[in-house]
Amino acid sequence: MDGEATSIGPLDITRVMAAIPHRYPMLLVDRVAELIPDRSITAIKAVTINEGFFQGHFPGRPIMPGVLIVEALAQAAGILAVESLGLAGSGKLVYFMSIDGVKFRKPVEPGVLLTLEAEFVQKRSRVCKFAGKARIDGELAAECEFTAMIADPPTG
C-alpha cells in the first residue's frame, strides 16, 4: 500500500446520519468503528429482537433477512464513499447498480453485533465498486461485491 492512510473514527449515529439519508426503520448502521478514506470502513449494526422484520422472519426462529444484511453492507459502503469523496451533508445519494457473488455463511440472530466491513475495489467520481463482508464475533456471516452510483438528490 502507498503511504499510511489516516483513520477516522469512531463515528457516532449523528455522523452516520449526516453521511447517508437513511432513517428508522431502514437505517442499518449504528456506528462506524473505523473509516480509512479511499480504502475501507468497519461499521456496526446492533441486531436486536425489537427489529420489525423479526416478527415475521421467522416466528419461533428469528433470523435477519439476507437482503437486509446486504443493505447494511451497502449503507456502510455508502458512508465510506461519501466521506472519502467529501460529500457528507451534500444530500448526494448512493444507489445500488449491481450486487454480485452474494454468499450467506451464518444466520444473523437477535442479540449480536454485526460487523460490517466494506472496501473499495474500484473508485470513480460517480461509480464505485465495493467488496463487503459481514461478521459475527469474527466469523463470516455474509459476503458480496456490489457497485453503486453516486447521484444528485431529487429536485422539487
Convert the pLDDT of each residue in 97-109 to its tens digit: 999 999 999 999 9
CA distance 137 to 59: 25
Amino acid 87: pLDDT: 85
Q: Is residue 6 part of a domain?
A: no
Average pLDDT value for residue range 105-129: 96
Q: How many domains does the chain have?
A: 1
CB-CB contact of 123 with 38 (8 Å): yes
- Annotated catalytic residue: which of 22, 31, 57, 123? 57
**How confident is the model over 5-18, as pLDDT tens digits?**
789 889 999 999 98
Q: Is residue 82 part of a domain?
A: yes
pTM of the model: 0.94
Q: Is residue 5 part of a domain?
A: no
User: What range does the domain containing 114 cover?
Assistant: 13-151
Q: Is residue 121 part of a domain?
A: yes
Q: Is residue 32 part of a domain?
A: yes
CB-CB contact of 112 with 48 (8 Å): no
Please classify residue 72 by burial: count the beta carbons closer than 10 Å to its beta carbon, then call 0-12 exposed, 13-18 middle and 19+ buried: buried
Q: What is the mean pLDDT of the chain?
A: 93
Amino acid 1: pLDDT: 45
CA distance 110 to 95: 28
**What CATH number has the domain bearing residue 126?**
3.10.129.10
Angle at the Cα of 108 (from 100 to 144), degrees rounded to 5? 15
**How confident is the model over 28-77, as pLDDT tens digits?**
999 999 999 999 999 999 999 999 999 999 999 999 999 999 999 999 99
Q: What are the distances in angstroms from CA 28 to CA 69, 129, 154? A: 9, 20, 22
For this structure, is 57 an active site residue? Answer: yes
Q: Is residue 4 part of a domain?
A: no
DSSP sequence for the chain: --SPPPPB--B-HHHHHHH----TTS----EEEEEETTTEEEEEEE--TT-GGGGTS-TTS----HHHHHHHHHHHHHHHHHHHTT-TTS--EEEEEEEEEEEE-S---TT-EEEEEEEEEEE-SSEEEEEEEEEETTEEEEEEEEEEEEEPPPP-
